[in-house]
Chains A and B, each alone.
Chain A
C-alpha cells in the first residue's frame, strides 16, 4: 500500500472520530457550538485529504464547484429567517441526497462507458450502485417536495387519490425490476461496447426513483412535517452510506450511518410526541375524519359558547398571578410576536410573577423549531420546559397563556378515545386555574380538529392577531 493512500485513509479515520465527538457534543447545550465546529473541522480534513491524496487530474471543475457551493450555501445560511429553517434544512437534505446519488451515477457510467476498463462488474458493486441511486434520488425529490410544502409552493394538505398505495407499490416493484435488468444487462453492454441503451435505462431509473420520492411525500400533511423532515434527514445519511458502499470508502459509510441513526432517533421522538407509529404517519389518513370528536356528538358550537375577553382582562389576570405558563405554537412565529411576548414576560417577572415557557416537542415545523425561535427572541433555554415537567403541577398554575398553539393543548387527546389525537401527550392547560387562548378565530388547528378547550368555563378567548394582542396586554400591564 503506498504511503499517500495510507495517509489519506488515516485522515478519513480522524474525520470520522471528529464527527462522532462533534455529534456527542451537539447533544448537550453547553458544548453544542464546539461540537458543531469540531464536526466542521472533521469535514475540512476529509476534503483536504481527498484533494491531496486522491488522484486528481483536472482541477477546474473542483474549484468551480467548491466556489459556487460555498457562496450559495453561505448566503443561504446567513440570510434564512429562523421561521424558514425547516424548509432550508429540507433543501440541504435534498442536496446531500443528490450528491450521494450522483456519486453512484458516476461509478455506473465509469463501468458502462468502459472507463473502468473491464466488462466484469462485481455483483456487490452493481448492487451498491443501484441502492445508492435509489436512496439518493428518493431523498433528493422527496426533500424538494417537503421544501415546497413548507415554503407554500406545494399544497400543505395531504394529497390523496384512489389507488395511491397500489401505484406506489407498483412503481417500487418496477424500480426493482429495472435494477435487476440493469445488473444483468450492463456487463453485456460493456462487452459489446454499446452503452447507449443501458445508460438510458439507468437515467430512467433516476426518473422512476425521483417520482417515487415525490409520491411518498405528497400524501403527508402539514401537521406531520416534523416527522417527514426527520425521516428525510435520516435518508440523506443513508444515501451517503450507500455512496460509501459504492466507493468502498469507510468515512462515507461511518458518517452516513451516524446521520442515519440521529435522523431515526429524532423521527422516533417526533412519532412518540404525536403517539403515532411511523407507518401511520407515512400511510395513515390523519385529520380526514375531522368532526367525530365530542362536538359532533352534541350541537355545533359557535361564538356564543365561548368566553370572549379583552386585553385588559388578560393583563389583570397575568399581572396578579403567582405562576404563569406560556404555551407558544407556530402561530406565534407566523405573527412574528415572539419578541413582544418576551417583553411581556420580562415585565411580568419584574413584578414577581413566575413565568415558564412550555414547548411541546412537535410545536413548529421541525423538531425543536420553537426552541430556536424563542432563542432568537432572547429567551434563555433554561426557562423552557417540557410538558411532563409542568403537567403534574398544572392545578397550581394561575394562568396559562396559549399563543398560536392548538392541537397540542386539545384535551380530546387525553379524554376522547374517538378523537384522531387520542393518546398524543398534551400540555394540560385545561387543568390550570385560568387559561387564555389567543387565536385569530375558532378555526381548527393543523390536524383539522375542533378543540373542546375553547368552550371550557375556565378558558378565556382573546381573538385577533397574536402580535397586536400581546402588544395591547403589555400596554395594559405597564399601567397597572
Chain B
C-alpha cells in the first residue's frame, strides 16, 4: 500500500506531538521564571517571520509587498524585542552566593 498522507494530516500529527513535547519540556517552572519564560516563548512565536520573509520577497506586486513588509516588521519586533528583553531580565536574576 503506497497511499500518501494528505499534508493536513501530517501537519496535525506534527502539531499534536509538538504540543506534547511542549507540555513535557516545560511542566514545572519556578515562579521566578514565569515572566522570562513567557517573554522568551513569545519571541519564539515570532517564527512567523519565516513566512513573512517569503511573502515580502515574492515580488508579485504592491499588495503582497505591503502585506509582506508589515508582517516582517511585526514579526521582527516580536523576535528581536522578545529575546532582548528576556535577556535583560535574566541578567538581573542572581543567587545569594553571587553577592559582591
Contacts and interface: CB of A to CB of B under 8 A. Distances in A.
B32 A384 contact: yes
A257 B75 contact: no
A32 B58 contact: no
How many interface residues does chain B have, given as a range? 35 or more
Contacts, number: 396
A359 B31 CA distance: 9
Contacts of A252: 47-48, 50-51
Majority SS at the chain B contact face = helix
A19 B80 CA distance: 15
Contacts of B38: 89, 229-230, 233, 262-263, 266, 366-368
A243 B76 contact: no
A96 interface: yes
A248 B72 contact: no
A40 B59 contact: no
Nearest to A372: B35
Contact of A69 (B41, B54, B73, B96): B73
Given A96-B45, A124-B6, A250 B51 contact: no
Contacts of B22: 23, 257-262, 265
B55 A80 contact: no
B11 A99 contact: no
A276 B85 CA distance: 30
Contacts of A36: 36, 40, 83, 86-87, 90
A111 interface: no
Interface in B1-24: 6-8, 11, 14-16, 18-23
Contacts of B45: 93, 96, 100, 233, 236-237, 239-240, 255-256, 259
B11 A54 contact: no
A29 B30 contact: yes
Given A43-B79, A252-B51, A261-B23, A85 B39 contact: yes
Contacts of A85: 35, 39, 85, 89
A378 B98 CA distance: 11
A64 B69 contact: yes
A254 B30 contact: no
Interface of A: 12, 15, 19-20, 22-24, 26-29, 32-33, 35-37, 39-40, 42-43, 46-47, 50-51, 54-59, 61-62, 64-66, 68-70, 72-74, 76-78, 80, 82, 85, 88-89, 92-93, 95-96, 98-100, 102-103, 105-106, 109-110, 113, 115, 124, 127-128, 229-230, 233, 236-237, 239-241, 243-266, 269, 359, 361, 366-369, 371-372, 375-376, 378, 380-384, 386
Interface of B: 6-8, 11, 14-16, 18-23, 25-61, 63-65, 67-96, 98-99
